[in-house]
């Protein structure tokens, strides 16, 4: 679209330079305001209104309770969340200090702070401090940078169009993509989050990532904020790589709800851009790429995943599926004699890495699909160059993700967790969760949430379908096969179309409640493990959305070549209008009927939402896990200990007056915890105690202070180094290739 060497000339434009200068000045002002003097307010705790200026604060509450039933409230009694954003904080039992974020959007005289006593006579708030922070300056700086980037981009496009001209087609394509992006992100343009099944789980993971960094873990393996400080190995089993984005927003100073919405916007943008670039290259047609990308992004199932189920992992994985498809398309259909063919493994590796780092279950489905693809194209697989590219893709994917796969497999195969045990799974038999064929034919999906078909049928059902537009594409292809006999024509895309169609049909069949999942599961332990981990057959709709979108592109190419009654232009307009119409209908109903949640700081969201508890040690009971639950063995006296509410590191002073004994700590046991005496450096043995809590064995007569922390095994570190080296190599190859392409372009130009 643009000649990248020409766009640099924009820096010679005076107006642009003035704009840049103004933006820089604003940014400097924001940075300087970060160093403003801290102000501390000591307000009353009895509900008497007090004044607060607009800004961001840290609320420090020092208190004592004996139960977990007391709540601390800070609110604006007149303007509510339009002025003050805080939330209700549950005060954990014991002597504690909480540091909670507070956002005040406008100067107000009506702020009140008080505790709601849940029948606890011991409740006492000894101190309440409200301290200004620089989060507002950081937020402002971030917003200035984003707005500047947006303005600058628009200015550059405007300047380039005036000077060199941008074609109408390009403008239309980008306008359509822009409209689709805005419509997809409408549910994010509110000051709350739509409640989803996994919403709580994912926001806790984000907070867990931050607490893990505070613990000194890198990468984070055990997140210390879960279960009242007991910790949870979510990061080992569920990669947090992309959660760095909302974590960054949180560190900047955005509230939980705002960070989550911004993250969804980023996911939408990434999905649309990746899908567009991939489909455009596959079809070698801008419009076919645009329509396929839009249909993919606004498909009913994807929207349901992201906004109703809050299945962020799965939605993120869907971002990378087009890249994987593009990669395999290059490998199997690319010109093997071309020099660039030897880099064909790169998109596959990038895509698979994206999926592995987002949602391991999607990998399971992908593995099956890739195996099937290789079987179908078996003759091509064994062509030397193709085979070599496939091997490179497999090996590099493994190496790039070794840092995540080694700990995951180490725990999964060598330790015992709820995941993989039928009796602890919420859905041990998945066939009952399959969808009806009626789901696929249903087109007016709204904000329905129900997924238990055996109880509710299709009453208020979730959007378990590819959507009206993609369904029309599938039916259109059936027509071409049956009535127009496309198989006998010389249309170049017919093989790709057939492949995409077969994959779509296969995915439809696999999602169905009539597919014999239970029978398959009962055949062998291996199949049982694979199938139970899948949980819901309708996950295959992600594959169906991708393959149906590819089918849409092929259909448009067919019409471009041979369209008589319905032309290419009419078809693409019709498909776009259809897709966006039903998308808007779905979003409309979603926004008007769906439950919402407003959470601002981490303390007001609770810590117990482990979803189905897949990563808990086998049969650990979360109801017995509460803050500061220390169990002293015989003869042991705990003199004192220090542990933050949301980190794992703790220090404890003990005296063991008797024989060898132990102390059980309020931390969940995962292999890797170590306890070291702070004075002598002596290591104390750590094992799993009652209810899978960490038990530190104390030698007879031991007296001292020890520190508990999580240390990765050496081979985990080795895997991280290997991955780093492999990724570094990949980046080097990518840069080298890019340089070569620029050189080739310059040579061709001259």
Partner 1 sequence: MEVKNKRQRNIIFVLGVLFLYLSTPLTMDYIPASEHLGLYFLDKPGARGPFLYLLVWLQGTGLSRLACCRLYLLAANFMTLISSSYCFYRISGNVYAGMAGSFCYSFSVYSMYIRYSRGSLGEVTAFIFLPFLLYGLWELYQKPVSARRYYVWILPVSLGLLGVCVSHIPTAVIVLEFMFLAALLLWRKTFRRQTFLALTAAVAPVLLIFALWWFPYLREIPAGGVYADLESGLSFSDRSLPVTQMLLSFLGRDQNLGTPVAAQEYCGLGLPFLGILAAGLLWIILDRKRENTECKRTLGFLIGISIFSILLSTTWIPWSRVESLHWFLRALLEYVGYPFRYTVVAVLLLSVAVSLVGGMIWSRGKKAMALFLAIVTVLNVLSGVYLMNAQIYTSPRSESIDAGERYVEMDHLFYLGE
The site for partner 1 (CB under 8 A) is made up of 436-438, 441-444, 446, 448, 455-461, 475, 478-479, 482-484, 513, 564-566, 574
Which one, 19 or 432, has the nearer CB to partner 1? 432
Which one, 589 or 677, has the nearer CB to partner 1? 589
Residues in CB range of 246: below 8 A, 6 or more apart = 206, 259, 260, 262, 263
Which one, 541 or 652, has the nearer CB to partner 1? 541
Which one, 199 or 307, has the nearer CB to partner 1? 307
Neighbours of 255 (CB within 10 A): 25
Tell the smallest beta-carbon distance from residue 459 to partner 1 (Å).
Answer: 5
Which one, 487 or 606, has the nearer CB to partner 1? 487
Residue among 471, 466, 500 at smallest CA distance from 297:
466
Which one, 378 or 455, has the nearer CB to partner 1? 455
Tell the smallest beta-carbon distance from residue 309 to partner 1 (Å).
Answer: 18
Rounded CA-CA distance 683/707 in Å is 10
Tell the smallest beta-carbon distance from residue 468 to partner 1 (Å).
Answer: 8
Rounded CA-CA distance 652/629 in Å is 13
Cα torsion 339, 344, 347, 349 to 10°: value is: -120
DSSP string for residues in 384-447: HHHHHHHHHHHHHHHHHTHHHHHHHHHHHHHS-BSTT-GGG-S-S--GGGPBPHHHHH-----S
Which one, 252 or 443, has the nearer CB to partner 1? 443
Distance from the Cα of residue 44 to its chain's centroid: 40
Tell the smallest beta-carbon distance from residue 192 to partner 1 (Å).
Answer: 25
Tell the smallest beta-carbon distance from residue 490 to partner 1 (Å).
Answer: 17
Tokens of 280: 């455009």
Do residues 687 and 695 touch, judged by C-beta distance below 8 A? yes
Tell the smallest beta-carbon distance from residue 299 to partner 1 (Å).
Answer: 17
Which one, 50 or 585, has the nearer CB to partner 1? 585
Rounded CA-CA distance 744/750 in Å is 10
Phi-psi region of 292 (alpha: psi -120 to 50; beta: other; left: phi over 0): alpha
Which one, 146 or 478, has the nearer CB to partner 1? 478
Rounded CA-CA distance 693/732 in Å is 45
Which one, 384 or 488, has the nearer CB to partner 1? 488
Tokens of 552: 């849409």
Tell the smallest beta-carbon distance from residue 454 to partner 1 (Å).
Answer: 8
Residues in CB range of 212: below 8 A, 6 or more apart = 220, 221, 222, 223, 224, 235
Tell the smallest beta-carbon distance from residue 464 to partner 1 (Å).
Answer: 12
Question: Which residue shows structure tokens 């604060």?
Answer: 57
Tell the smallest beta-carbon distance from residue 469 to partner 1 (Å).
Answer: 12
Rounded CA-CA distance 211/195 in Å is 24
Tell the smallest beta-carbon distance from residue 484 to partner 1 (Å).
Answer: 8
């Amino acid at each position: 679209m643009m000649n990248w060497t020409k766009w640099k000339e924009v820096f010679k434009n005076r107006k642009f330079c003035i704009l840049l200068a103004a933006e820089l000045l604003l940014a400097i002002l924001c940075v300087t305001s970060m160093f403003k003097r801290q102000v501390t307010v000591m307000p009353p705790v009895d509900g008497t209104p007090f004044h607060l200026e607009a800004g961001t604060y840290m609320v420090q509450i020092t208190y004592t309770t004996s139960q977990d039933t007391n709540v601390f409230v800070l609110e604006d009694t007149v303007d509510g969340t339009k002025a003050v954003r805080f939330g209700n904080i549950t005060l954990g039992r014991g002597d504690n200090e909480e540091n909670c974020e507070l956002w005040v959007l406008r100067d107000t005289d009506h702020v009140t702070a008080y505790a709601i006593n849940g029948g606890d006579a011991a409740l006492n708030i000894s101190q309440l401090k409200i301290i200004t922070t620089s989060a507002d300056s950081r937020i402002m700086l971030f917003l200035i940078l984003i707005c500047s980037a947006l303005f600058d981009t628009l200015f550059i496009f405007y300047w380039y169009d005036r000077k060199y001209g941008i074609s109408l087609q390009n403008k239309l394509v980008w306008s359509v993509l822009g409209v689709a992006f805005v419509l997809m992100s409408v549910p994010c343009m509110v000051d709350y989050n739509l409640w989803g099944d996994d919403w709580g789980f994912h926001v806790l993971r984000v907070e867990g990532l931050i607490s893990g960094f505070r613990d000194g873990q890198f990468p984070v393996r055990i997140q210390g904020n879960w279960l009242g400080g007991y910790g949870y190995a979510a990061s080992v089993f569920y990669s947090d790589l992309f959660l760095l984005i909302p974590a960054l927003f949180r560190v900047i100073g955005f509230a939980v709800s705002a960070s989550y919405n911004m993250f969804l916007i980023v996911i939408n943008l990434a999905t649309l851009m990746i899908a567009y670039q991939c489909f455009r290259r596959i079809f070698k047609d801008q419009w076919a790429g645009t329509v396929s990308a839009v249909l993919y992004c606004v498909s009913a199932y994807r929207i349901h995943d992201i906004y109703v189920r809050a299945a962020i992992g799965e939605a993120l994985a869907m971002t990378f599926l087009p890249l994987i498809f593009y990669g395999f398309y290059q490998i199997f259909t690319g010109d093997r004699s071309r020099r660039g063919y030897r880099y064909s493994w790169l998109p596959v590796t990038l895509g698979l890495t994206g999926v592995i780092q987002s949602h391991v279950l999607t990998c399971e489905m992908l593995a099956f699909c890739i195996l099937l693809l290789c079987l179908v194209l078996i003759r091509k697989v064994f062509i030397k160059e193709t085979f070599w590219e496939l091997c490179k893709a497999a090996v590099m994917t493994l190496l790039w993700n070794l840092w995540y796969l080694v700990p995951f497999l180490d725990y999964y195969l060598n330790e015992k967790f709820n995941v993989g045990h039928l009796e602890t799974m919420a859905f041990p038999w998945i066939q009952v969760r399959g969808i009806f064929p009626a789901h696929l034919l249903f087109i007016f999906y709204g904000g329905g949430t129900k997924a238990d078909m055996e109880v509710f049928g299709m009453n208020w059902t979730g959007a378990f379908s590819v959507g009206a537009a993609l369904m029309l594409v599938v039916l259109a292809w059936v027509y071409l096969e049956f009535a127009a006999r496309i198989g006998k024509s010389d249309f170049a895309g017919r093989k790709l179309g057939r492949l995409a169609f077969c994959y779509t049909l296969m995915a439809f069949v696999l999602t169905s409640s009539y597919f014999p999942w239970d029978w398959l599961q009962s055949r062998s332990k291996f199949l049982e493990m694979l199938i139970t981990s899948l949980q819901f057959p309708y996950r295959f709709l992600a594959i169906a959305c991708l393959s149906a979108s590819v089918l849409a592109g092929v259909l448009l190419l067919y019409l471009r070549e041979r369209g008589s009654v319905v032309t290419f232009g009419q078809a693409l307009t019709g498909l776009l209008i259809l897709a966006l119409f039903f998308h808007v209908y779905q979003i409309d109903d979603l926004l008007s009927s769906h439950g919402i949640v407003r959470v601002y700081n981490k303390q007001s969201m609770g810590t117990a939402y482990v979803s189905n508890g897949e990563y808990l040690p086998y049969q650990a009971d979360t109801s017995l896990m509460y803050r500061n639950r220390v169990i002293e063995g015989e003869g042991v006296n705990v003199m004192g200990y220090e542990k933050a509410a949301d980190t794992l590191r703790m220090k404890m002073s003990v005296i063991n007056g008797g024989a060898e004994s132990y102390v059980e700590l309020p931390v969940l046991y995962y292999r890797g915890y170590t306890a070291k005496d702070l004075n002598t450096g002596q290591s104390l043995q750590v094992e799993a105690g009652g209810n899978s809590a960490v038990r530190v064995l104390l030698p007879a007569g031991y007296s001292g202070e020890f520190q508990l922390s999580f240390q990765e095994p050496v081979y985990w570190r080795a895997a991280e180094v290997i991955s780093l080296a492999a990724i570094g190599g990949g980046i080097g190859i990518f840069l080298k290739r890019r340089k070569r392409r620029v050189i080739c372009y310059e040579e061709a130009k001259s």
